[in-house]
Amino acid sequence: MKKRAREETTPIPKIYTQEIVKARISHPGIPIGLFFPTFENIDASLHRSRSKNYPSLPKSLVDLSLPDLVGIRLSMIIHTLLLFGTGLIFGVIFNWQLTMILYSFICIFILILYFEARLITLSTSLQRETLEQASILSMESMNNIRTVHQLNKQGSLADKYESFTNQCLKISRRYCLIQSALWGIDFAFPLFVVSALYESALMLVDHGVLQPKDFIWLYAYISFALASTNFAYILIYELGKSTSAVASFLDLFDLIPKIDNNSTDGMEITDLKGDIKFDQVHFVYPSRPNRVIYKNFNLHIKSGQSVAIVGPSGSGKSTLTSLIERFYDVNHGRLLIDNIDIRELNIQWLRSQIGLVNQEHFLFTGTIRENIIYGCSYLRNNVPLNEVIDVAKQANIHEFIESLPNTYETMVGYNGTQLSTGQK
């Protein structure tokens, strides 16, 4: 009953704001609705880099309640501005001298609140970064629990996890000490302002500037004007907690990818032969600019050739396929496909022509059939089951799939958790 009563008394402007904003976010034309496509279009170099933990962004945004982030706080901003503006107009009409004194104090109070907001944002950011490291550690431990048990690392990992949580606790304690002092100022400041205004009002009465009968309006005026500071205090505290996550969220839209993975521009070779040529290629990874991978590298793989690239770890074997897939562009030189620069080709068409078996396998949540046809969406949406079976036979997995209870419609789970390591 309490919950129902609370919902019934929700202000209509607040409900309207929430519904409009949620509708706009769900619309594909609104930038926030483009978060996932934007996240997918990030350069491979940024996914590789550890300095920006962009994969944690969806988690931090889910932690923020959208109605609280937009509806409540937006309505509070409007409410505070209306109180502030109305109080200023009323004060100028009532007595401009007292108004200037009052709003001088309010400006000082706003500066204090701004400092508090910065403090809250900094504290929240530090805690979030520390908790993200703890979350990554726990996820890695759970995903590799057999290895953890095999190496008897339970104790050391638990100690490492505890160190992250203790670090977060230290940040919280330092923040609480400073915040406690600021809270004392926040609660004492309005009382000081009231005392100063009463003293100023008495001085104005003594000098004949303020009529004694107008003095009775003073208390109501002060209460009305200071109400805006109370809302501002609550608003600053709430916004400070969410600023760090929202700032990272907005930074994502400022990223301009060097390679537009969603682009449909470029050439499509009608009669593709598959002739590949590296011509004086120079390449370094953006995340490791001091380590040169290729310098004046030349390689010609003719159409129909079977080539094995061998070499020690870190010599650039995997980089070769990354450049052919155009996950990265060469820094200097050219990479040619059938004597056409790879940068002139339609990137989605190019990748649809390449079959790649990664060093680390990954199965998407869904059925075996859906995983097999996962990369065919560029060519066509519906792939007949007989073609899926032909592909499975070529990969020598048809008999194994047929031995499963639901054959090709067997659910594999997240990253194939429903299958054994050998089955994957």
Write out the chain's pLDDT in tens, 424 residues. 434 433 444 443 444 344 444 444 444 444 444 455 555 556 666 555 544 444 444 444 444 444 455 555 566 667 667 777 776 777 677 777 777 777 788 778 778 877 877 777 777 778 877 877 887 788 778 777 777 777 777 788 888 888 888 888 888 888 888 877 777 777 777 778 777 877 887 787 777 777 777 666 666 666 666 666 666 666 666 666 666 556 666 666 666 677 777 778 888 888 888 889 999 999 988 878 888 888 898 999 888 888 888 888 878 888 888 888 888 888 899 999 988 998 999 888 888 888 777 777 777 778 888 888 876 654 555 778 888 888 888 888 888 888 888 888 888 876 666 776 666 6
Compute the CA torsion angle 223, 228, 230, 235 (nearest 10 deg): 170
pTM of the complete model beyond 0.85: no
Q: Which of 5, 21, 2, 6 is nearest to 75 (CA)?
A: 21
Cα distance between residue 207 and residue 353, in whole Å = 90
Cα distance between residue 300 and residue 252, in whole Å = 38
Tokens 């074997």 correspond to 317
Cα distance between residue 391 and residue 372, in whole Å = 8
Write down the pLDDT at residue 14: 42
Write down the pLDDT at residue 182: 77
- At 158, list the tokens: 């638990």
Q: Which of 230, 161, 169, 222 is nearest to 197 (CA)?
A: 222
Write down the pLDDT at residue 245: 58
Write down the pLDDT at residue 18: 45
Exposed, middle or buried: residue 241 (CB in 10 Å: 0-12, 13-18, 19+)?
A: middle
Q: Give the chain's domains with CATH numbers.
A: 45-254 (1.20.1560.10), 276-353 (3.40.50.300), 366-416 (no CATH)
Compute the CA torsion angle 189, 192, 197, 202 (nearest 10 deg): 180
Provide the b/e sequence for 370-396 (b: ≥16 CB within 10 Å): bbbbeeeeeeeeebeeeebbeebeeee
At 83, phi and psi to the nearest 5? -60, -45
Write down the pLDDT at residue 44: 62
Beta bridge partners, 300, equal: 277
Write down the pLDDT at residue 13: 41
